Structure formats: C-alpha cells, structure tokens
Structure 1
Amino acid sequence: MTASRHCAPAAPVLLTPAQRTSTAGLLNGAAARRGLETVTLTGPGTLRALAGRPVHWYGGPRTADRIAGPLRLGLLDPPDDWLARLPPQLTLRRVELMTHGEASRRTGPFFVKPPSDKSFPPSVVACGAQLPPATPQTPVLVSEVASFATEYRLFLLAGTLVTATRYAVHGRLDPAPLDADPYAPDVRAFAARLSALAPLPSAAAVDVGRLDGGGWAVVEANMPYFAHCYAADPAAVLEVVLRAAGPYERVQDSDRRFLRVPGGRPGALGVEGAQGAQGA
C-alpha cells in the first residue's frame, strides 16, 4: 500500500437519526450520489466510530446539542428574534419576541409559536391563558393573526435561492415544486427582497407566504438541518444542510454570530424548550 493511500482523507459523512423521515431518506440518497458516506446514529458507538471524521447532521436540535461537542459540529440557526426584527414590509404584521410568561399575560386574540424549534404547536389563542404549556422563560414569538393563502419554503445559500417548494394552500399541506406553481415569479422576487433586507446565515431555510388579502410576507425561519424539503430538489436542499450543520472549523467568519450554543440558539432568551421529534 502506498503512502498516498495511507494519507487519503476520510470521506465526509451525512449523519441522520434512527427515526426515519421522508426528507432524511431523500437527503441520504442525494448524499450517496455525491460521494458522502451515510450513517445512522444508533448510540455512543456511532460517535466513537465517527470521531475525527468530517460529519454533517440532518435531524433534531435536541440530538444535535448532544453530538455537536463530540463530533465538532458547527450548527447555524436563525436568531430567536430574527422574525421580530425584520422590516415591516417583510412581515406585514406586528411580531414580538417575549417569554412564555410574558405572553401568558397578553390579551388576544394573537398567534403564538416557538421561534424555530417545535417545543409546542403554533396556534391562535383568544388570550394568554390559553397558551400551550411551556416553562415561563421559554422564548415565544407573538404576532397579529394573519391568514396565508399559499405558503412556500425557500432554501437559501449565500443569499441565493437554490430551491423552493410550495408546502401549504389555505393552511392545508399541499406540496408542489415551485416551477409548477403559478406564483413562482412572485416567490423568487420576494426571496430576492428578503436576501437584500434580512441578515441570515449563509445557509438558511425560510418560509414565506401570500396573504389572503394580497401581499407577500415572511412566515418564519427554520433550522435547515431540521426542515422538511417537501417538493424541493433534494440535491439542492442537501447543499444547504451541509453548510448549516457541518465541521466547526469550516464555519465562515461571517456565520459565527449564528452558531448554535448547546441548549439554545443565537439570540435565545437563555432557556431551552423541549425539542420536537419531527422536522418542521
């Protein structure tokens, strides 16, 4: 065996949880086609076997927090207050970041959701007393009630839209490729406005929608490594995931302010909520 073969770098790995999802399957296929090794996380032995390897993650944030240290992962998350700090022309409604305890004292009706994880289901409540249960310090986004006619997921890489999908019509799941949707030009135009006006990690997944009364607005930002691809191109989604959840030493300087810290995200109010088991 030659010295060059001894020193050949290990193939990069896409690591996914044992609980399978349709998106994990699609991304595993795309990863295999581009030469990545695909590995399922089954326990501590998996982490030991991958030590020192360049690993990328697709799966939930709770598990990501456990494996990020041993595998030296750099995870890029949108800040909790990202949606609340957007210019009004991108949201078309008032959005505020507060704690669950503060929201529980609000009068309604209003829409409430976790900033990006799935610690409780998003919902419209008549008043703060009807909030889904959570610890008082759990960060929540509270906004005026808005009704979206169609909703789309954008996958952005370095501010460029690399793929997108429609995922809902009038609140019901209805995935379709963006090119098959009559509003595709409007979605692309809004994506360009969003990239120009909103600070995002270089790998981002953002939901946007067309309101019932007209106009385009941001719905929310997502963790790319925990976002369903629906009818988007899996190979392009994989590109975003690889940047959003990969080796820490490869994180760009401009992305370091978006690095996730164990138990929370950039801009979090300091308390970890329970993480959901499925992607958004």
Structure 2
Amino acid sequence: MTAERARGHTSHQGDSVQLIVSQRYSDDARLLSEAARLQGWRVHRAQGSTLPADVLQLPSRVYAEGFLVEHFAAQAGLKLLRPADDALATLEPAFLSREVLFCTVQDFQAPWDARFIKPADQKLFPAAVYPPGAAIPGWETLDPSDPLLISMPVTLVREYRFFVLDAQVQTGSLYWDGGQVPKVPSGYEGADDPFWEAAWSFAQQVCSCTAGLGPSYVIDVGQLRGGAWAVIEFNPTWASGLYGSSPDQVLSCLTASQRPEAETGRAGSEALA
C-alpha cells in the first residue's frame, strides 16, 4: 500500500526541538502541534509576530500562514527551502498537459485569449482565469520583478496534495473533487478513493524524474477532463494546508524543509534553482 511505503521517514527529533506556530492556531497547526508533542517536541504558540528571547534559544521549526512564517523564520535563524519560482514551467510537457509560461511582471504581455494567471511566489493577487483586457486586482502595486506563472486554462475533475521528502511521496490527501473541497479525515491515505493509487503514482513519477526541487516540498496533481493527470502547482511545505495528510509524516517533511542559518549562510526564504 502507498501509505506503508512512507513509514520509514517518521521524525524523532526529541525534546531538543520546538515547533513554532502562529496565534491563529488553525486546524492544521493544531494537528501538527499534537504530532510534535507526541514525538517529544516542545510547541510554542506565538502571541503576535515577535518571538520571545527564551523561545529563540531552542532549535526550532516554523509553520504559519502568509508572510508570518517568513517573519518567524528570520527571527529563529532558519532558511525556508522551496522549489524555484519557475519549477512548474520547467517540467517535462508530459507532466503538465498544457502550456505553462514563466515571466516577471515587467516582461508580462497580455494574452490574446483567456489565461490562468497566478503569482509564482506569494499570493499577491487572486490566481484565476483572466480574459483579455481584464484588470488583475492589485496589479499596480506589484514590483516589476515579481514572478508570474501563465497557463492555458484546463478543466479539473479532481485534485490531490502530496508532501514529498527526499523525492519520495510521504503522505497526501484528496484536495478538490468535482467543484467542491471535500471534508476528509486526518490520515486520509486514500480511504476508499478509486483514484488514489493513480494520483500517488503520478506524483511519485514526477518527483523521481525531476531534480532540484529541494529536500521537501508539496506537489498538487489533478486529473483533467478526459482522464489525463497533470501537475497543478508546487508549494512550500512550511505554509501548505494538510487537508487529510498524516501530521506525523508532514512533520518529518517540515523538518527537512528548513535549515539553520549556520548551515545556509543567512535566514529567510530561498527558492531552489
């Protein structure tokens, strides 16, 4: 079974490591916190955006939303690792089933027909299908160097999220199904989903054939109308929702997705080329 193939990567960092989560304390943060405590970690729920000095004395990993996770990482002296901004556009065409282009805001040329346009890094504006001439919210506030991904629109039937460690899929979940975000239990691992094995196998094939994505990342794959599978996007482990993924396995991935500043040279977020 696919779930069993990932069992060897459970983290056992002990009580010398702590997990830092935000004050918001989402369901995902709660599940990760529970998994961390069971593995002997300490857990610090931040009150605001500034971390206390005593918290910063311990080796840490961070998990939070938006820009806050990078703010925590900078204070904790961590480098957050993620796939390069153009990773999706550089995949083999067979893994995409559509044209995907990468450019910056300053190089963007309005398409002649509708395109799916999204920020390649932060969520600077809503990712959506924009017809020719449509106004993109907040466009005037973007920096000329902000990266974009532009692709042909496709019709998704279902979508899955998988967490990856050392190019091996560890855990995942159904993410979107027939126009709805389903409620799936933690530790989903496919349940009675007839498409689970195909989704897992496709994601693993992509990870095995694609170098340079980093020690840990998230890959979202979907089945298109017509049956083909395609990579939808890559995301950083340290800010991705779990849905029904195993918190234990995600914690292992989270550990690998961050490195102490002493090992990397400086804190912050780094897209891997």
Q: Output the CA distance in 2 between the equivalents of 1:155 and 1:143.
A: 24
1:131 deviates by: 2.2
Conserved 8 A contact 2:161-2:172: yes
What are structure 2's unaligned runs of at least 5 residues?
1-13
Select 1:187's aligned residue among 199, 221, 230: 199
- Within 5 Å, give how 1:1-280 maps onto structure 2: 11-43=16-48, 46-103=51-108, 105-134=110-139, 135-137=142-144, 138-176=146-184, 177-180=188-191, 181-199=193-211, 200-249=213-262, 261=268, 265-266=271-272
Structure 1 CA distance, aligned partners of 2:183 and 2:253? Answer: 19
Alignment RMSD: 2.4
**Change over 3 Å in CA distance of 1:44–1:148 after alignment to 2:** closer
Residues in 1 aligned to 2:240 and 2:103: alpha-carbon distance in whole angstroms = 24
1:127 CA drift (Å) = 1.6
Rounded to whole Å, the distance in 1 between the matches of 2:190 and 2:76 is: 38
**How many angstroms does 1:70 deviate by?**
3.1
Task: Give the Cα separation in 1 of the matches to 2:47 and 2:219.
Answer: 30
TM-score by structure 2 length? Answer: 0.84
CA distance in 2, matches of 1:103, 1:175: 38
Per-residue CA deviation, residues 58-78 of structure 1 (Å, 9 max, x unaligned), is 013522333333311021111
- Aligned residue identity for 2:195: Y
SS in structure 1 opposite 2:255? helix
State which drifts further: 48-57 or 25-34. 48-57
Question: Separation in 2 of the partners of 1:128 and 1:59?
Answer: 35
Shift of 1:247: 2.7
Question: Relative to structure 2, which stretch is displaced further, 192-201 or 87-96?
Answer: 192-201
Between 9-18 and 223-232, the greater mean CA deviation after superposition: 9-18
- Matched with 1:272 is none
The aligned amino acid for 2:132 is: C
Partners of 2:124 and 2:152 in 1: CA distance = 21
Question: How far 1:160 moved relative to its partner?
Answer: 1.1
Closer/same/farther in 2, CA of residues 45 and 211 from structure 1, 3 Å limit: closer
Looking at structure 1, the residues matched to 18 and 129 of structure 2 have their Cα atoms a distance apart, in angstroms, of 40
Identity rate of aligned residues, in percent?
27
**C-alpha contact (below 8 Å) 2:116/2:153 kept by paired residues:** yes
